[in-house]
Amino acid sequence: MQKLQALYNTDHTGLCAIGQRLGLKIHAPQSKVTVLLVGNHSAGKSSFINWYIQENLQKTGVAMETNTVTLVTHGQKRETLGGEATIQAFPYFKDLAERAGLVGSLTTQISTSRERAFPLVTFIDTPGLVDGDLKYTFDIETAITLLGAKAELTCVFFDPLGQALCKRTLDIVERLQIAASGQQGKVRYYLSKADTAGTDKDRFKVITQTTQNLCRRPALNSVAFEMPVIYIPDEEDPLANRVPNQIYELCGAIDETVQHVVQNSLNGFKHDCQHLLEKIDEKLEWSLRRKSRWFRDLVTGFLCLSAALGMLFMSLYSILYPPEDGYQGAMLSPGQRVYAAVYYATVNVFAISGSSFGTYGGIYLFALVVVALAIVGIGKLSRLGPTLTKAEVKALHHDKEVVQRTLENNFERLYRLYLGESVGDGAQATAKPSSF
């Protein structure tokens, strides 16, 4: 995805820069997938992130640990960013953060972890949801709903203790589900900390009660709830992991989302390249057509206008300086001869055809010819709009070559890389990590 981003964002030869020169808005695809974690207080959201990236990054504990919205993302060095810096790093969160009054309660944790698909994922860890008078420093309902719209995957965690009994959690889940209607699998539900749920029978009871509570909500009663059970596996003591654990399926769901987004980005890349090529061809064709017509219009326009002006000048001259012995006389200058020829020819045509146009018919016709020639001449010359200069045509050919090369050299290669990576990621995600 980073490689794809570079193809868009390179300074002069990137697809965005070429698009800008052509007057097209080309947007680089998103570089990462956003996974939103929502749930009751102490449901294990932060612990899941820490386990996924195999780093103790987020504070965990039974107290209300997470009180800010935290973006956990991969980077070159370990760093923590505040609200403003987060908005700089993720400009598409600006509007959302301002609407929910979130700027002061927004943090980014950058980790160098390369575990699982983490380099391609940004997790959003949200504060635990509780009922009562606890005041959040921002409008949590709006914030989570807007974050849900931005995220590609939302995971809702219910723990055996909290279940789906928290009104605030249910309100938010309902909103998220309504916003995600039509996007199957976007909001997923998990029973977290399943190892604390007791026996198989207890666990089953907890799942039933939780889904029943969810289904009481009108917007949720038509949702077919699947509630995989997950818990953080104990790597040191495999015997402690007797309870079935579907945490690796959650990793698989994240992988799937990543693959889906990468595939969309690759298809978008091909589409953008083709769009740019079409636009360049269109411009070049337009320029060619314009150039061939340009010369023709220039010559025709010039000839018509000169003929009209010549005839006008000639007639004025002939009227101002008529020959002493009249136009039938022998002492005619060449100009007067043309005028006389045109004039008498037209008069004769009308006379022969018995037209009642009279003696002035020839003059009218003469004037008509002058006006027609002038109109055609001016019309042709006014069509001579700007055309592309040689340098501009050369630059377009260069851009075309760059886009063609970018597409040919990268589409297949990135697709193969993606297929290779997704196979690798899948294997990694389902393989248990060796240590934590």
Ligand X SMILES: Nc1nc2c(ncn2[C@@H]2O[C@H](COP(=O)(O)OP(=O)(O)OP(=O)(O)O)[C@@H](O)[C@H]2O)c(=O)[nH]1
Angle (CA) 429 435 436, round 5°: 90
Q: Closer to Mg ion at the Cβ: 65 or 79?
A: 65
Of 86, 107, 92, 111, nearest to 31 (Cα)? 92
Residue 129 carries which DSSP code?
A: B
Q: Closer to Mg ion at the Cβ: 45 or 380?
A: 45
List 33, 38, 43, 258, residue binding ligand X (CB under 6 A): 43
Judged by CB under 6 A, does residue 66 bind ligand X?
yes
Distance CA 32, CA 5 (A): 10
CB contact set of 73 (below 8 Å; sequence gap of 6+) = 32, 108, 109, 110, 111, 121, 122, 123
Q: Closer to ligand X at the Cβ: 196 or 387?
A: 196
Name the residue whose CB lies closest to ligand X: 128
Q: Which stretch binds ligand X (CB under 6 A): 36-44, 77-85, 277-285, 297-305?
A: 36-44
Min. distance of Cβ 23 from ligand X in angstroms? Answer: 48
- If phi over 0 gives left and psi between -120 and 50 gives alpha, with beta otherwise, what is residue 190? beta
Q: What share of the chain is helix, strand, coil (3-state, %, to 5)?
A: 55, 10, 35
List 128, 160, 301, 362, residue binding ligand X (CB under 6 A): 128
Q: Which stretch binds ligand X (CB under 6 A): 59-67, 254-262, 325-333, 380-388?
A: 59-67
Distance CA 58, CA 45 (A): 9
Distance CA 417, CA 426 (A): 14
Judged by CB under 5 A, does residue 131 bind Mg ion?
no
Min. distance of Cβ 8 from ligand X in angstroms? Answer: 35
Contact 27, 145 (CB under 8 A): no
Min. distance of Cβ 236 from Mg ion in angstroms? Answer: 23
Q: Which stretch binds ligand X (CB under 6 A): 7-15, 189-197, 396-404, 419-427?
A: 189-197
Q: Which stretch binds ligand X (CB under 6 A): 58-66, 114-122, 136-144, 314-322?
A: 58-66
Q: Which stretch binds Mg ion (CB under 5 A): 24-32, 59-67, 80-88, 203-211?
A: 59-67
Give residues 221-260 in contact with ligand X (rule: CB under 6 A): 231-232
Site string for ligand X, 372-411 (x = CB under 6 A): ----------------------------------------
Q: What is the β-pairing status of strands 79-81 and 106-111? A: antiparallel
Q: Which stretch binds ligand X (CB under 6 A): 42-50, 161-169, 210-218, 403-411?
A: 42-50
Contact 385, 290 (CB under 8 A): yes
| 3-class secondary-structure state, position 26 | coil
Site string for ligand X, 260-289 (x = CB under 6 A): ------------------------------
List 30, 40, 46, 111, residue binding Mg ion (CB under 5 A): 46
Contacts of 23-27 with CB under 8 Å at 24 or more apart are 24/275, 24/276, 24/279, 26/272, 26/275, 26/276
**Distances, alpha carbon 195 to alpha carbons 37, 139, 203, 435, in Å:** 20, 33, 9, 20
Distance CA 129, CA 175 (A): 14
Min. distance of Cβ 43 from ligand X in angstroms? Answer: 4
Q: Closer to Mg ion at the Cβ: 35 or 311?
A: 35
| Residue ranges binding ligand X (CB under 6 A) | 39, 41-47, 60-62, 64-66, 127-128, 193, 195-196, 231-232
| Residue ranges binding Mg ion (CB under 5 A) | 45-46, 65-66
